[in-house]
Structure 1
């Protein structure tokens, strides 16, 4: 058992489960995440770093599926197939020259950045790098990839709907060991045990990243798919942002 700081009830999930938490800042918040992640198999409570206004987004979800419907989607949908289908639709909607350019980059014909942007975790810090106080939330959940369903999270800012979001999280967890650490109304940040280590794999992930969210320009300063792949290559932290 872990001795926790005093906790308070933060909110109640749409399924009626209370989520408790406590404040922490900067590296201390990340250390708490690591300790609580290690204890998750016994506790059944997944740690998430959230902002004060995150519960407001959860109370005002824009998804119209019920929790039960989202859970069924999460368990039956294939996250890889969802992203692949999104990719085909994206390419079909691009002007021919842009579609050709994307396919050439995916084939490895782009110019790799000499010094790619490789951001670490963002939420427990201010932009200056100073520690910022956040909340360590303890979410009762059967699997970490079910977080979007448990919290009924998604459907705004081009976020995937909860069931689809969970299916994508499951796919990335199985393939890369990606686990959610940070969740706000505009961001998700992952700790990644097995990030891509080859350029082809990093390019494939970069394309999925673009289909999942649109944060590469702000978080990775990437102007091309290959720029983004350079930032994701071997990086144990992924930061996602929705405009």
Structure 2
């Protein structure tokens, strides 16, 4: 007997089979895996509680969007707060009830004169540490106070950091999701107050950040562009004009954030050279 052939082509048969499969109950078909949640429930709750407008963009577009927002939204200050994990960390910090509200921090900062307030803070920390060691001789003798080396002026300044908060620090690949918060202020230096930012390890408390950034804004047109849980990216409109000025500023920034030297460029002269060669300032606290 001959084989009876269907009038359907192979393509038509495949299409018909796919249509029949689609009619099967969902329980008889393999379910597609659900995408992993971007945040844990408690993180998502804290993020939802952030009282500021938030915009999400691909990391590669974060800088362009920030520039556009500075023009389109003169009533707020945009700040790039990093990727998903960074946003969760910012949200967690803002949720801490023992940190003062922005108005309290701004009032405290208004009474401070930078850099004197920064030097006073570091002197107090040093005195407190020496007092602690004296009270606990079992910890051993006191170490000599560490002072960063001036170093030699480099033939080539360090590479410009640019915006770092919208990319992975290890791969330098932009985050798939970067977040921009729109803060209810027109002053860049007030950002740490609104984010309740600082006051851990060697990172100064929020009012010290505000006072420092207010002065740097006056002297160099420095503006906060990005901030994560431990990094600040600032962009300046004016660079130090001389080596002497750059070295003085570098010493000031070392007192503000020692890790950029101790775990970064290694000496004051190299940091100063970078300040003269770049419009970007980078701060990181371990």
TM-score by length of 1: 0.78
**Distance of 2:68 and 2:116 partners within structure 1:** 34
Query: Residue by residue, what CA displacement relative to the aligned partner does 1:127-179 show, whole Å, maximum 9, x if unpaired?
Result: 32322131011111142211122222221232222222111110110011111
Asked if 1:121 corresponds to 2:163, the answer is yes
Instruction: Map 1:3-152 to 2 at 5 A.
Output: 10=47, 18-41=51-74, 44-50=75-81, 51-53=86-88, 54-60=90-96, 63=99, 65-86=100-121, 95=144, 105=150, 110-118=151-159, 119-126=161-168, 127-132=170-175, 133-152=177-196
C-alpha distance in structure 2 between counterparts of 1:82 and 1:91, whole Å: 14
Q: State whether residues 181 and 190 of structure 1, in contact with CA within 8 Å, keep that contact through their aligned partners in structure 2.
A: yes
Any conservation in 2 of the 1:48–1:183 contact (CA below 8 Å)? yes
Among 275, 279, 285, the residue aligned to 1:236: 279
Q: In the alignment, which residue of structure 2 is the partner of 1:185?
A: 229
1:27-76, Cα deviation, whole Å (9 max, x unpaired): 410011111123343xx21111113222112223764x454432211222
**Alpha-carbon distance, 1:86 to partner:** 5.0
1:171 aligns to what SS in structure 2?
A: helix
Question: Are 1:48 and 1:182, in contact at CA under 8 Å, matched by a contact in 2?
Answer: yes
SS of aligned partner of 2:52 = strand
Conservation of the 8 A alpha-carbon contact between 2:47 and 2:87: no
After TM superposition, give the deviation of residue 84 of structure 1 in Å.
4.2
Q: Is the 8 A contact 2:157 2:277 kept in 1?
A: no
Gap runs ≥5 in structure 1? 1-8
Q: Is the 8 A contact 1:111 1:226 kept in 2?
A: yes
Q: Distance in 1 between matches of 2:230 and 2:125?
A: 22
Output the aligned Cα RMSD.
Answer: 2.9
Closer, same or farther: CA 48–67 of 1 in aligned 2, 3 Å = closer
Q: Which moved more, 1:84-93 or 1:149-158?
A: 84-93
> Matched residue of 1:233: which SS?
helix
Tell me the secondary structure at the aligned position of residue 182 of structure 1.
Answer: strand
How far has the Cα of 1:85 moved from its partner?
3.6
Residues in 2 aligned to 1:190 and 1:61: alpha-carbon distance in whole angstroms: 28
Unmatched 5+ residue regions in structure 2?
1-45, 131-142
Using the size of structure 2 for normalisation, the TM-score is 0.67
Larger Rg: 2
Matched, 1:212 2:248: no
CA distance in 1, matches of 2:202, 2:255: 10
8 A contact 1:83–1:212 mirrored in 2: yes
